[in-house]
Amino acid sequence: MGASALVRVRAASGPSFDTAQRLPAARLRPFIARYGGFRIDSASFGATRGVPSRHVTLMVGLGEPFRIAGVGSFTSFVAGLHDHAEVVESCGRTAGLHLVLNPLGTRALLGAPAGALAGQVLHLEDLMGARVHAELQCRLREAKTWSHRFDILDEILARGLKGDVTSGELHWAWRKIATDAGSTRIEDLAREIGWSRRHLSGRFSAEIGVTPRTLARIARFEKACALLRRERSTLADLAAAAGYHDQPHMTREWRALTGCTPKEWIADEFPFVQDYELAALEQ
């Protein structure tokens, strides 16, 4: 399935909810862009879209299991990069922590490259180990505040770091494509590194799970989402600001990546209960 996503938690009928976010400890910031926490108590909460992201998604559930349509139920999961929307379902009472992972940091955090996770949703305990996962769940459930929960994440994840073994060239290329929101020519990027385009594409697929071109599409879409978060301009202005050729181009890309048009997205997904996924784009 591959549900690495800007996982939205939103409510249909004014639920009781609270959210929090924080940067990880300095030692973990090369691997994790941001922590987010959420609690929702509403009988009306149901399904929401999980859309493509340049980050790997790690969710630690503290309430009812997450149900991913067509895949299964998960207490906690890791989802690799993908280029299409998926449906994440939940009952109205849910809580958890969302870790926004740098895809080139999954080797250090979980012992596997993001390329091995692409197109999949895996139980966290299968990657982290049953003993460590049980400790994480137990301590997070006992903690009384979001700050304490984030401290627990810092401690357990730093303790298990396996070392960063990914090349500096890939780190630079991933960040360049992401921060330039898809405007960088892949040929120019490969030339600057000193690789062929084919070699760059192969390394991206193996280590990150998508090609540079796909990452560029996702980065442009994320920029459009971030612009929508800050200001509600016309769709034509949004398309131009986000780097699309024109509004029809943006609409085609939006439908391919989310399964809906920009107008449908605005109607269905705004307002967001939690914004930390988009805040991570600035890291």
User: Rg for the chain (alpha carbons), in Å?
Assistant: 18
Question: For 104-134, how does the pLDDT look when each residue is reduced to its tens digit (9 = 90+)?
Answer: 999 999 999 999 999 889 999 999 999 999 9
**pLDDT value of position 65:** 84
Question: For 203-215, how does the pLDDT look when each residue is reduced to its tens digit (9 = 90+)?
Answer: 999 999 999 999 9
Question: For 135-152, how does the pLDDT look when each residue is reduced to its tens digit (9 = 90+)?
Answer: 999 999 999 999 999 999
Residue 159, Cβ neighbours under 10 Å: how many?
8
Q: What is the pTM of this model?
A: 0.84
Distances (CA, A) of 89 to 50, 66, 76, 174: 10, 6, 14, 31
Whether the CA torsion 220, 226, 228, 230 is positive or negative: it is negative
- pLDDT, mean of residues 265-270: 70
Q: Give me the chain's average pLDDT, please.
A: 84
**pLDDT value of position 2:** 44
Q: What percentage of residues in the chain have a pLDDT greater than 70?
A: 82
What's 5's DSSP letter?
B
Q: Which CATH superfamily is domain 168-282 in?
A: Homeodomain-like (1.10.10.60)
Domain ranges of the chain: 16-159, 168-282
What's 44's DSSP letter?
T
Higher pLDDT, 262 or 139: 139
Q: What percentage of residues in the chain have a pLDDT greater than 90?
A: 55
What angle do the packed helices 197-207 and 186-193 form, to 10 degrees?
90
Question: For 210-232, how does the pLDDT look when each residue is reduced to its tens digit (9 = 90+)?
Answer: 999 999 999 999 898 888 877 77
Report the distance separating Cα 173 and Cα 84, nearest Å.
22
Above 80 in pLDDT, residue 177?
yes
Q: Which fold would CATH assign to domain 16-159?
A: Jelly Rolls (2.60.120)
Residue 198 has, within 13 A of its CA and on its CB side, a CA count of 0
**pLDDT value of position 207:** 92
As a whole number of Å, the end-to-end CA separation of the chain is: 26
Above 50 in pLDDT, residue 12?
no
Give burial (CB, 10 Å; 0-12/13-18/19+) of 243: middle
- pLDDT, mean of residues 3-22: 59
